[in-house]
């Protein structure tokens, strides 16, 4: 039987079968613990990433109105949907929203400045929008 490092998918299926059969003493506990921790970390990281991308596109949308495109709107809507899905699936991630907004906004400004050629100093130092605004399907900054 392939192990954790040889064939991850097969390993997951075997661990699930062992759990289902109640054969707990045969479980690969150290690697199961690692995977359970990483599953939560992945969701948190994904949420932070979606917020950053959303904020970057909202900044571009606001500060480069002449370049607004369906692609930008699509990315904004895609990120909003994924953020809502992640929080619906893991409501406890809401407790990290303020922290993620601050960190993600600073990174979004850097990325927006890189992509647009607009100096970072021209963007607000603090995020001008609330989490509820950026995840509202009707919200697009002027």
Domain-wise residue ranges, the chain: 47-137
Q: What angle do CA 96, 58, 103 make, to 5 degrees?
A: 30
Per-residue pLDDT tens over the stretch 71-111: 999 999 999 999 999 999 999 999 999 999 999 999 999 99
Ranking 19-28, 32-41, 47-56, 90-99 by mean pLDDT, the lowest is: 32-41
Buried b or exposed e, range 86-101, using 16+ CB within 10 angstroms:
bbeeeeebeeebeebb
């Amino acid at each position: 039987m392939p192990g954790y490092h040889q064939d991850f998918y097969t390993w997951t299926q075997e661990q699930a079968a062992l759990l289902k059969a109640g054969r707990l003493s045969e479980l690969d506990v150290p690697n199961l613990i690692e995977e359970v921790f990483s599953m939560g970390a992945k969701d948190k990281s994904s949420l932070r990433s979606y917020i950053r991308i959303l904020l970057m596109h909202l900044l571009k949308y606001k500060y480069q109105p002449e370049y607004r495109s369906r692609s930008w709107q699509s990315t904004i809507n895609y990120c909003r949907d994924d953020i809502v899905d992640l929080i619906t699936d893991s409501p406890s991630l809401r407790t990290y929203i303020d922290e993620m907004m601050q960190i993600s906004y600073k990174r979004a400004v850097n990325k927006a400045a890189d992509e647009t050629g607009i100096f970072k100093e021209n963007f607000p130092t603090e995020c001008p929008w609330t989490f509820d605004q950026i995840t509202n399907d009707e919200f697009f900054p002027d």
